[in-house]
Copies of this chain bind each other. A is one copy, B any other.
Amino acid sequence: MSVKPLLEAACGRFPERLPVWFMRQAGRYLPEYMEVRKNVDFVKLCQTPELAAEVTLQPLRRYDVDASIIFSDILVTAMAMGQKLTFDTGHGPHLEPVIRSAQDLLCLKETNALKDLGYVGEAIGLVKQKLRPEQAMIGFCGAPFTVASYMVEGQGSKDYAQLKRMIYEKPAVLRKLLDKLIETTVDYLLMQVDAGADCVMVFDSWAGNLAPDDFREWAFTPANDLLKAMQQKGIPTIYYPGQGSAQLFSLQGLAADVVSIDWRIDLLTASKILDSQGLEVALQGNLDPLALIAPEEVLRKKVRHIIEQGRLTKRPHIFNLGHGLLPITPPESLNIVLSEIRDEA
**A residues neighboring B (CB under 8 Å):** 159-161, 164-165, 168-169, 208-215, 243, 245-247, 249, 262-266, 269, 288-291, 293-295, 298, 302, 305, 322, 326, 328
Contacts and interface: CB of A to CB of B under 8 A. Distances in A.
Contact of A295 (B169, B302, B326): B169
Nearest to A163: B290
27 contacts: A161-B293, A161-B328, A164-B291, A165-B290, A165-B293, A168-B291, A168-B293, A168-B294, A168-B298, A169-B294, A169-B295, A209-B264, A210-B264, A211-B263, A211-B264, A211-B291, A211-B302, A211-B322, A212-B264, A212-B265, A212-B269, A213-B302, A214-B288, A245-B246, A246-B246, A246-B262, A249-B265
Contact of A249 (B168, B243, B269, B294): B269
Closest 9 CB pairs of A and B: A245-B246, A168-B294, A246-B264, A164-B290, A246-B265, A211-B288, A211-B263, A168-B298, A212-B266
Given A245-B246, A294-B168, A161 B212 contact: no
For A161, A245, A265, A295, the residue with the greatest tally of chain B CB atoms inside 10 Å of its CB is A245
A294 B168 CA distance: 5
Contacts of A302: 211, 213
Looking at chain A's contact residues, the main secondary structure is helix
Contacts of A245: 245-246
A290 B160 contact: yes
A274 to B, nearest CB: 14
Contacts of A294: 164, 168-169
Contacts of A289: 159
A189 to B, nearest CB: 28
A291 B159 CA distance: 11
A291 B210 CA distance: 11
A164 B294 CA distance: 8
A247 B245 CA distance: 9
